[in-house]
Structure 1
Amino acid sequence: MTIHQFYQPPLLWQQFEAFAVQLLSEVYDVPAPQPYGRPGQAQHGVDAYGRSRKHGLIAMQCKRLSGLDANNQPLPGGPISRKFFFDEAKAIEGFRHEISIWILVTTARRDTRVQGYAEELNERWVKRGIDRTATVWSWDDCVSYLNSFPELRKRYYRDVIQVNSVGDLDQMILETISMAFDRTAFELPLHIETPTEFQQALQDTQRAVRTGVLLDRTSRHAIRKSIGGWRQIHNRDWRDVLRKIDKDLRTMRAGLEQGLKDGSIRRISNFLDFTDRRRADALENLRRGCVRQLNAVLIDAGLPPI
C-alpha cells in the first residue's frame, strides 16, 4: 500500500499559478497550457488555459488564499463566498474563446459549501443551454494529484520528498529556527537596538520556533516553512532545549513591553535607553542564553552555529 503525503501550498501566488498551469497539463493531457495575460489586464476570470484533445478549451482561475487555522493549515473553503464564486464565473463570459471546462483552483481546503456553488452554477448553465462544466480544485485535490504524478511532485516539492526520516525532519526545523535567529536583534548591543524593530524581531523569531514559519522582515510574507516548530522535533533533548528557548523569548518580550510601560526602558532618538541596569542585564542574559543554547543544539545536529 502506498502512503500519500500532504504538501503545503506554495508561498507566493506566482508559484501557485505556475504550479496550477502544470497541473492542468498533467490532469487533462493539455500539451501547451499557458498563463493568460498579466496582472493589471482584463483576464475575464481566466488565469491560465489550454486545449485538450478530448475536452476542448479548459480555463483556470487560480486563487491562492491565505486563511490558516490554528495548526497553520489552509481553512476549509477559505474566504470563498457564494458571491465571490459567481462573480468569478460571470467574468468568464467576457473571454473571447468558447470554454468547455472552467476550474476554480484554490489553496483553500475542500468544502461542501463551495462544491455546492459549482453544482448550482452547472445547473444554471444547463438551463441556459450552455455546454460548459464548472469544477473546484481545492488544495486537497491538488495534493491528490501531486501524489498521482511523480514528475510534478519532484519538480515542485523536491526538498519535501527528500525528508526520508525523522532526522531529516528535525534538521529542516532546526535550519528554519537558525535562519530566524540570524538577525541583528541577536547580534547588536541592546542600547543601539530600535524598540519597534527589536520587538518585531523577537515576535518573528518566537513564531519560527513555535510554528516553523519564518516571515520576511520587509514584505511580511512567509519565506520558509518547515513542518512544524519545536513540538515536532523528535530528538527529545533538542526539543527540551527549544522549549526552553521558546519560554525565554516569551520572557524577553514581556520584559521589554513591561519596561517600556513603566519607564525603566525608554525610547531615546529611536534607540533603547535603560534606566534600570538590572532589567538590561536580565534581557541581555536571556538573549545570549537563547543563542548559546541554540548553537549547542545546532552543533549536536551537525549544523553550523549562528
Structure 2
Amino acid sequence: MNQLQVFLPPPSNWQDFQDLIVEVARVRFLESSVQEYGRLGQAQKGIDVYAQDHLDKHIGLQCKETKKESLTTTIIDAEIIKAQQFSPALDLLIIATTARIDTKLQDHVINLNSHKAHPFRLQIWFWDDINRDINRFQSVMTSSYESFREHFGQAELKNHLAAVRLAFDRPAFTEDFLLERNYQNFESALVSIKAFLKVGVLHDNWSKTVLVQTIPSSMIGDQAYSKFITDIEKMVESIYQSFKRDQKKITSNPRQLDERAGDYNISRRKLIDKLNKRFAANAIDHIITQY
C-alpha cells in the first residue's frame, strides 16, 4: 500500500523554491553534478540549475515560482529558445513550477516532444510532482521542510491518537473473550489492527471499505509518540502470537481458547489501559471494556 501523501505548501519566494529544486535534483540525478547556474543579474540562458544523470545526459532546470506570474505556453516557448543557447547542448530541459497540474500546459509539452520541435526533450515538474518527491525523499523533507514537518506533526498527533481510539474501540478488544464465538473474526481483527498501526488505514473485514484513515505515525516526527505506537504494536503482536499458538492446540484440546480466556482478557486489558492513559493525557474519551 502506498504511503499517504502530505500536501505541502510551495515556498513563498523564488530563492527558496530554487533551493528546493536543487535538493530534488540531487536525489534524482548525479548528486556531484548538480549546481546552481549563474546568479541574479547574469545571463543564464534559461537555466537556473544544471545537472547530469548517470548516463551523462545534460539536464537544465528552469524554476518558475508563479505567485506573481502564471506559467503559460508563451513563457514555456521563450524558455526553450533561451535554453538552446546553453553549452553543452542539453538533452533535457525541465521547467519546475509552483503551479498545480494544468492540462493545457501538459498538452503543449506533449505536442512539442512528439513533433521534436526542439533539440532536447522537455518536462514540466508541477507542484504536485515536486510534492510527491518531497514526501518520497527523506533528505529533501529534512533539508527543506523540517520546521513545517515539526509543526504538522504536533498538529496531527492528537488526530492520529483519535484515529487509534476508533480503531481499537471494537469487540475484539472490548468484549469478554468468553463471548468470542468466531475466532476467525478475532484473528482478522488482530491482523487488520497491525496493518493500521503501520500505514494508518483500517478496512472493514467484509466490505473492505475504509473505517479509519490517518497519516502513518512515522510522519508525525515525535520520537516519544513513535515509541508509544511501537509499544502498542508489540503488545498487539504478543496477543496475536499467543492466539496462533493456542489455535494449534485446539485439535488436542477443543476448549483451549475458552480455558485461555482469562489470559486474553488480562493482556487486552493491559493494552487498553496503556491506550486510555494516553487518551486521557490528550483529552480524548477512553475506551470502555466489558470484562
TM-score by length of 2: 0.50
- Checking the alignment, whether the CA contact within 8 Å between 1:30 and 1:53 is kept in structure 2 is no
Q: Distance in 2 between matches of 1:98 and 1:55?
A: 12
3-state SS of paired residue (2:9): coil
Query: Does the alignment pair 1:152 with 2:152?
Result: no
Specify the code of the residue in structure 1 equivalent to 2:155.
Answer: V
- Checking the alignment, whether the CA contact within 8 Å between 1:31 and 1:52 is kept in structure 2 is no
Aligned equivalent of 2:124 = 136
Deviations 1:11-58 (A, max 9, x none): 121111111111111122442311111111111111110111225111
3-state SS of paired residue (1:31): helix
Q: Distance in 1 between matches of 2:155 and 2:60?
A: 41
Aligned equivalent of 1:284 = none
Aligned equivalent of 1:93 = 84
Q: Distance in 1 between matches of 2:71 and 2:158?
A: 33
Aligned equivalent of 1:109 = 100
| Structure 2 stretches lacking a partner, 5+ long | 160-291
Comparing 27-36 and 3-12, the one that deviates more: 27-36
> By how many angstroms is 1:166 displaced?
3.4
Deviations 1:101-129 (A, max 9, x none): 110000000111111121122134x366x
> By how many angstroms is 1:169 displaced?
9.5
- Checking the alignment, whether the CA contact within 8 Å between 2:109 and 2:122 is kept in structure 1 is yes
Aligned equivalent of 2:57 = 56
Aligned equivalent of 1:292 = none
- Checking the alignment, whether the CA contact within 8 Å between 1:85 and 1:117 is kept in structure 2 is no
Which structure has more RCO (C-alpha within 8 Å, separation ≥ 6)? 2
> By how many angstroms is 1:155 displaced?
1.0
Q: Distance in 2 between matches of 1:157 and 1:120?
A: 35
Instruction: Choose from 144, 161, 164 the match for 2:153.
Output: 164
Aligned equivalent of 2:236 = none
Query: Does the alignment pair 1:118 with 2:112?
Result: no
Distance change (3 Å), C-alpha of 1:136 and 1:127? closer
| Number of aligned residue pairs | 157
Structure with bigger gyration radius? 2
> By how many angstroms is 1:62 displaced?
0.3
Structure 2 matches for 1:278-297, cutoff 5 A?
A: none
Q: Distance in 2 between matches of 1:23 and 1:149?
A: 8
Q: Distance in 2 between matches of 1:94 and 1:169?
A: 54
RMSD: 2.2
Aligned equivalent of 1:17 = 18
> By how many angstroms is 1:93 displaced?
1.2
Q: Distance in 2 between matches of 1:167 and 1:107?
A: 25
- Checking the alignment, whether the CA contact within 8 Å between 2:134 and 2:141 is kept in structure 1 is yes
3-state SS of paired residue (1:164): helix
Structure 1 runs, 4 residues or longer, greater than 6 Å off: 167-170
| Structure 1 stretches lacking a partner, 5+ long | 68-77, 171-306
- Checking the alignment, whether the CA contact within 8 Å between 2:22 and 2:35 is kept in structure 1 is yes
3-state SS of paired residue (2:24): helix
Q: Distance in 2 between matches of 1:56 and 1:11?
A: 31
Specify the code of the residue in structure 1 equivalent to 2:11.
Answer: P
Deviations 1:229-283 (A, max 9, x none): xxxxxxxxxxxxxxxxxxxxxxxxxxxxxxxxxxxxxxxxxxxxxxxxxxxxxxx
